[in-house]
Structure 1
Amino acid sequence: MIVFLDLRRGCLIFLILFGISIVTSQQNGGENIFKLRPGVESDKLNFKLANNLIVIPVSVNGEELSFILDTGVSSTIIFSLGDDKKLQLSNATKIYLRGLGDGEPVEAIKSTGNTLEIGDAISANHTVYLIFDETIDFSPRMGFPIHGIIGYDFFKNFIVDLKYSKEVIKISNPKAYVAKKCRKCYQTSLDFNNGVRPYIKAQYGVDKRIDLNLLIDSGSGSALWLFENKTLGIKVPEDSYREFLGKGFNGDIHGARSKIKALHIGKFTMKRVTASFPDSVYIQGISTLQRQGSLGGGVLKRFDLIVDYPDQKISFRKNRFFKQPFHYNMSGITVEHAGERLTKVYTREDKIKPERIRSGQKANNAIVIDYTFGYRYSMEPNFEIVNVRPGSPAAHAGLKRGDRILSINGKNAYEYQLEEINNLFFNKEGKRIRIVIDRAGVRLNYSFFLKKVIE
């Protein structure tokens, strides 16, 4: 049987700003339900915080994979396995997914009856969607393997304590959970709008506050997405710039990047928050009167959260990240991990030997260090520029899309993690970036200075 599923309704699909919705019929009883093992009332597991995203280990039919924990996604999706993973899926059916725009539908597989394990939580009858589309692959953007995303299926039956500050998740059986009093917390209700995605109320502005209904989207590495709405007074600030915001099924997503004066969540106020405003063509089908944007990991990581889907509420407590300023990329380039390349790595072997003592000399226990230099060939990470913002410092310097980075500021590119490279571009204004690239086999040197586009 071939089924067409429509993703265009009420959905945005981003690169690291990601939200996928699969429109399905009501799930059968017992399907996609996580339960703790018998006798276990709670469980803790560590996660990796990378690019403001939560990455957790998930076992699918016995195969260990890495998933992004995404409150904004309704179904469990696998989009990348790699050559080292072999996954057996049961009851597979071919389907097609329609994305943003008018492009061709994307082929996928719907599989039922799978077993998923996250720590001591098990789902024995789980539906997953395997998507065959290279554009929906987090791994190049994260710099390490990401195989899928999971959200509502995991949250719906637990109370989930997300400690961004310690990179720890605690999941609890709601019947055994005992809430602690927290005077420093702000608790508010979650609105699911008769669906599976959580929304909260917020406000932005200083003198005149504008009410917002925001999707809580932990699968977005951005801080805040806002949808322009003249009726509500939501518009792009004059102090803004055009930017590549992410990728969807049918190509790149562009819009404006700026900073808003203040964002208010209950009693907490964050100032000069980075905000993205996608062009209207990408949000067709979304009612901007009902939803005004998304709250992403760039804001969420500043709090330790207690997410209670069963009782439809959420608690915010600010953590050590709260006072960090909101930064943005001042270089104008977007870098991805682009596989590996054969690299000549120079080595030095230190040989330590006792100093020879001639007859009549006084022994002083000295040593002589003999350096032996050589090299070896090794497969090392390859990093590529995938986007250059027009008019940016990198563009003025001459860097282009497709350039492969060899070194940055005198350090070999393969000695960096991808997140470390990106962090260099969020540094202080005026910092010099010296970069050596490979363009079609030619080695080229460039230099530019980081420059603020918005204050």
Structure 2
Amino acid sequence: MLKIRTLTRFLRHIVFFLLLFPISGWAQTFALPDGKKFERLKFRLVNNLIVIPLQVNGTELSFILDSGVDKPILFNLSDQDSVQINNVSEIMIKGLGDGEPIRALRSHGNIFSSKFITNSDQQLYVIVDRNMNFSPSLGIPIHGIIGYDLFKDFVVELNYGRRFLKFHDPETYTRSNSRRDQSLPLSIIRKKAYVDGSLLLAKEQQVKLLVDTGSSDAIWLFENETLQVPDAHYDEFLGEGLNGHIFGKRTRVDEIRLGRFKLENAKAAFPNSDSFDAIKNLGNRNGSVGGEILKRFNIVFDYGRNTMTLRKNRNFSAPFRYNLSGLSLQHDGVRYISESIADSRGVVHSEENTFGDVQILFQDRLRMSLVSEIIVSGIRAGSPAHEAGLLEGDVILAVNGKRIHRYKLQEVLNMLNEQEGKQIDVLIERYNQDLRFSFVLKEMFKKKP
């Protein structure tokens, strides 16, 4: 067993394209203890993504549960994480994005566990490029993604409404007969799950969609002769893949149906084709359905029976949120702020802080706190924020008079995209100067009456 920071000197080089070929190798299985029927695990829902804690060889890490990934992938590891990984070789992998293949480590014989479930021979990959890091854009530490190996070994009950997972033993699981549920057939192809649905986009079309819990978006669609980008669209940065930025066109679909469930005026995106160079043959796949739609249901994934059971939850009728301001934000380290202390005894009523709460008190009158710094990481051309004069790299200090260090990253994003027609006043720092900007949120697409 080797510490992650000392591995590279022992590696050999092979070329491997992770998304193109199924991975074969060592037998590996997650299991519950004898007699236990399920394990319940709470998760955090961050930007429509499911974040779960898992231990890797005794070190607790945070994973995104991603039904679109085969083997677990680790990234954003530092010397402080002190993760041990075993039996290592070096490879190159290619994923979504517009960049080149990236260097990674392949490892087997690792122990993955939570309270009850354990896999003592888990294969994994480690991205050694430190630029591969989702934590700044999500506002919490993220160390990796995991998917198929959990879905294949359990019946996975995913309760978005109450934020918990249940990993059921397939041998003892009893299916619900509630009339509120509908079971849809899943196609498990190359260790990924696909579901059939229909879209109303100029005309009704049948589509096959990858079920992708690792996407925070609603629907991604691949343009072809029959599936065309509507005239009402705009260009936008869509997200990060394993190989870099993904750009595309943002639009709406009039309707999407999964079984009997219908969602109207749903968000959709058409990623640029160069982001999918790694996928040479899409077959009859038309795109993917992600977290912004999936979170509207409580879902049971039963890969053994090739089914996905849906039940509407309290999120079902929530509006689809667009980036009305045009701003993308991310964490960018920490900064000190000073505040006066209201009472003479210097009692501090601290807010939850994702990256800790370090404070220095001066004579019970002044408090200095170490807080996370949030910056503008991107800005859409022609958006309200762009026209108002904000720039990439601006440090956000306050939104509508609220000092943002008291809030989580996703809460700040919600402030900046609350509703069409709302005026937003932003205080920023640029080159050691505090500047104020105002703009009005603008909806890019109007709902049909």
TM-score, structure 1 normalization? 0.88
> Which amino acid in 1 is paired with 2:208?
N
Q: Does 1:282 align with 2:269?
A: no
Structure 1 position 101, deviation (Å)? 6.7
8 Å Cα contact 2:185/2:307 also seen in 1: yes
Q: Does 1:347 align with 2:341?
A: yes
Structure with higher Rg: it is 1
Question: Kindly tell me: are residues 104 and 254 of structure 1, through their superposed partners in 2, closer, same or farther at Cα, counting changes over 3 Å?
Answer: closer
The whole-number CA distance in structure 2 between the counterparts of 1:398 and 1:71 is 40
Structure 1 position 407, deviation (Å)? 1.4
* Cα deviation digits, residues 294-350 of structure 1 (max 9, x gap): 000000000000100111111011111101121201000100111211222332224
Q: Map 1:94-133 onto structure 2 (within 5 A).
A: 94-99=90-95, 103-133=99-129
Structure 1 position 426, deviation (Å)? 2.7
Equivalent residue, structure 1, for 2:159:
163
Equivalent residue, structure 1, for 2:311:
317
Equivalent residue, structure 2, for 1:4:
15
Q: Which sits farther off after the overlay, 199-208 or 325-334?
A: 199-208
Of 24, 27, 32, which residue of structure 2 is paired with 1:26? 24
Question: Kindly tell me: are residues 331 and 101 of structure 1, through their superposed partners in 2, closer, same or farther at Cα, counting changes over 3 Å?
Answer: closer
Equivalent residue, structure 1, for 2:223:
228
Question: Kindly tell me: are residues 315 and 122 of structure 1, through their superposed partners in 2, closer, same or farther at Cα, counting changes over 3 Å?
Answer: same
State the Cα RMSD in Å. 1.9
The whole-number CA distance in structure 2 between the counterparts of 1:124 and 1:258 is 45
Of 172, 176, 189, which residue of structure 1 is paired with 2:168? 172
The whole-number CA distance in structure 2 between the counterparts of 1:431 and 1:334 is 18
8 Å Cα contact 2:97/2:246 also seen in 1: no
Equivalent residue, structure 2, for 1:43:
39
Q: Which sits farther off after the overlay, 290-299 or 337-346?
A: 337-346
Q: Does 1:182 align with 2:178?
A: yes
Structure 1 position 376, deviation (Å)? 2.5
SS in 1 for 2:85: coil
The whole-number CA distance in structure 2 between the counterparts of 1:124 and 1:298 is 34
The whole-number CA distance in structure 2 between the counterparts of 1:72 and 1:86 is 28
Question: Kindly tell me: are residues 99 and 172 of structure 1, through their superposed partners in 2, closer, same or farther at Cα, counting changes over 3 Å?
Answer: closer
TM-score, structure 2 normalization? 0.89
8 Å Cα contact 2:218/2:289 also seen in 1: yes
Q: Map 1:200-349 onto structure 2 (within 5 A).
A: 200-205=195-200, 208-230=203-225, 233-284=226-277, 285-349=279-343
SS in 2 for 1:35: coil
Of 72, 85, 90, which residue of structure 2 is paired with 1:89? 85
Equivalent residue, structure 1, for 2:386:
395
8 Å Cα contact 2:91/2:104 also seen in 1: yes
Question: Kindly tell me: are residues 101 and 120 of structure 1, through their superposed partners in 2, closer, same or farther at Cα, counting changes over 3 Å?
Answer: closer
The whole-number CA distance in structure 2 between the counterparts of 1:102 and 1:213 is 24
SS in 2 for 1:37: coil
8 Å Cα contact 1:97/1:108 also seen in 2: yes
Question: Kindly tell me: are residues 76 and 289 of structure 1, through their superposed partners in 2, closer, same or farther at Cα, counting changes over 3 Å?
Answer: closer
Q: Does 1:56 align with 2:52?
A: yes
The whole-number CA distance in structure 1 between the counterparts of 2:433 and 2:417 is 28
SS in 1 for 2:177: coil
* Cα deviation digits, residues 71-91 of structure 1 (max 9, x gap): 011110111134642111111
Q: Does 1:375 align with 2:375?
A: no
The whole-number CA distance in structure 2 between the counterparts of 1:297 and 1:206 is 21
8 Å Cα contact 1:225/1:294 also seen in 2: yes
SS in 2 for 1:3: coil
* Cα deviation digits, residues 272-310 of structure 1 (max 9, x gap): 000011112222335455110000000000000010011
Runs (5+) with no aligned partner, structure 2: 1-11, 347-362
Q: Which sits farther off after the overlay, 421-430 or 242-251?
A: 242-251
> Which amino acid in 1 is paired with 2:15?
F
SS in 1 for 2:442: coil
8 Å Cα contact 1:341/1:381 also seen in 2: yes
Question: Kindly tell me: are residues 61 and 351 of structure 1, through their superposed partners in 2, closer, same or farther at Cα, counting changes over 3 Å?
Answer: closer
Structure 1 position 67, deviation (Å)? 0.6
8 Å Cα contact 1:348/1:373 also seen in 2: no
Question: Kindly tell me: are residues 137 and 240 of structure 1, through their superposed partners in 2, closer, same or farther at Cα, counting changes over 3 Å?
Answer: same
The whole-number CA distance in structure 2 between the counterparts of 1:406 and 1:221 is 26
Equivalent residue, structure 2, for 1:438:
429
8 Å Cα contact 1:433/1:447 also seen in 2: yes
SS in 2 for 1:81: coil
Q: Does 1:79 align with 2:75?
A: yes
Q: Which sits farther off after the overlay, 214-223 or 277-286?
A: 277-286
8 Å Cα contact 2:399/2:415 also seen in 1: no
The whole-number CA distance in structure 2 between the counterparts of 1:136 and 1:49 is 21
The whole-number CA distance in structure 2 between the counterparts of 1:67 and 1:445 is 38
> Which amino acid in 2 is paired with 1:149?
I
* Cα deviation digits, residues 181-207 of structure 1 (max 9, x gap): 1212111111023x1000000000178
The whole-number CA distance in structure 1 between the counterparts of 2:130 and 2:422 is 35
> Which amino acid in 2 is paired with 1:221?
S
8 Å Cα contact 1:135/1:248 also seen in 2: no
The whole-number CA distance in structure 2 between the counterparts of 1:437 and 1:139 is 22
8 Å Cα contact 2:49/2:215 also seen in 1: yes
Equivalent residue, structure 2, for 1:355:
none
Runs (5+) with no aligned partner, structure 1: 10-22, 353-371
Question: Kindly tell me: are residues 100 and 216 of structure 1, through their superposed partners in 2, closer, same or farther at Cα, counting changes over 3 Å?
Answer: closer
SS in 2 for 1:430: coil
Structure 1 position 439, deviation (Å)? 1.6
> Which amino acid in 1 is paired with 2:434?
R
Q: Which sits farther off after the overlay, 250-259 or 343-352?
A: 343-352
Equivalent residue, structure 2, for 1:364:
none
> Which amino acid in 2 is paired with 1:4?
V
Question: Kindly tell me: are residues 236 and 206 of structure 1, through their superposed partners in 2, closer, same or farther at Cα, counting changes over 3 Å?
Answer: closer
| Number of aligned positions between the proteins | 418
Structure 1 position 249, deviation (Å)? 4.4
> Which amino acid in 2 is paired with 1:138?
F
Question: Kindly tell me: are residues 390 and 78 of structure 1, through their superposed partners in 2, closer, same or farther at Cα, counting changes over 3 Å?
Answer: same
